[in-house]
Structure 1
Amino acid sequence: MRIIIINGALRDHAASGNMGVIDSHAQRGFRALYNDHHGWLRGWLRKKLGNACDAADLAHDTYLRVLASGTTPQPDDSRRYLTQIANGLVIDLYRRRHIESAYLDTVRYLPEAEAPSPETRALVIEALCEIDAMLDRLPANARTALLLCKLDGLTYREIAAQLGVSVSSVEKYVAAALRACYAALYGSAS
């Protein structure tokens, strides 16, 4: 099932291509939220992003996040709630663009025979964004210790000196980070 928002109405777009209307008491509140604030949200995002297409996409994604949350804000809190979600999506957009730009700069000068295909580039960029999000969810000490160990090749002793903690703490940070990454990838850290 894929949910599509069309003029504030929720549609269930089945794999067969048939579209059915999704309706319930709770979703009437969602439709009211959409109808009352969609134009405002698109304008706010357009001003923030300077791009009508990105604004429309992020406005749509904002409402999908509201729908996925299963809650509708109180009427007097609607714009703050929508703004909070939309701001997170704007940050995600900028992070993705930064990651994409850095990756494309890295592969730009590869010989044509070694350059990744557009499909491979898209998959790598998606994977890099997922890794970035996974790392962002780690506690700061665990993230720093993991990156210093795995990317910079520092020993635990060197990391401990840099962070001003014991080697034992670094071992715990790296182990916790690896468990969290494993759980994010495979669903369980056991």
Structure 2
Amino acid sequence: MANLKIVVGGHFGAGKTTLIKGISHVRPVLTEAKLSGLGDDKEYYPNKTTTTVGAEWGKLSIGNLALHMFGIPGQSRFSFIWDSIGVGTKGYIFLIDSTKPELWEDTMEQIDFFMERHPAPFIIAANKQDLPDAKSLDEIKKAFGDYNVPIILISALKNINTQELIKKLLEEMVKHGKQTK
């Protein structure tokens, strides 16, 4: 069985933990802690009570592949661990909250960080598409078009298009020769 490291990134509140919990075939290891009040924790998500403070892990088995999903903290104050998590990564999923375009720049900073230090194929998951104020694919493509990567509309909470997301990431990895190296 081939073990592949996949990093799940994205801005604070994008849904990384929810995605890993929803697609993992094993009980995920989570590193959530109560919000501390530092930074902009409550500005965009006033009802959110926890945040990821370390690497989270889940595993998804597909045929002879074991995808080890590592979720990273979305807040830049935890960026000191990003470099360590990026080592050996074969692919990335970067999530955005489709209802919060004002936070997308944070995800773009993560993309740029990882592509500079640990380049690998990636896709963008436009999460929270089940909400009425979610931005359209065209609006999201306009913001992320410079990256020229697939954008998949999902709802991690309702498990909508999450299998398509994984399939598309694997296609990108095969396309770029990163599937088993």
TM-score interval (norm. to shorter): under 0.3
When the two structures are superposed, what TM-score results if normalisation uses the length of structure 1? Answer: 0.24
- Larger RCO (CA under 8 A, 6+ residues apart): 2
Report which of the two structures shows the higher radius of gyration computed on alpha carbons: 1
Considering fraction of residues, name the structure with more helix: 1
When the two structures are superposed, what TM-score results if normalisation uses the length of structure 2? Answer: 0.25
Considering fraction of residues, name the structure with more strand: 2
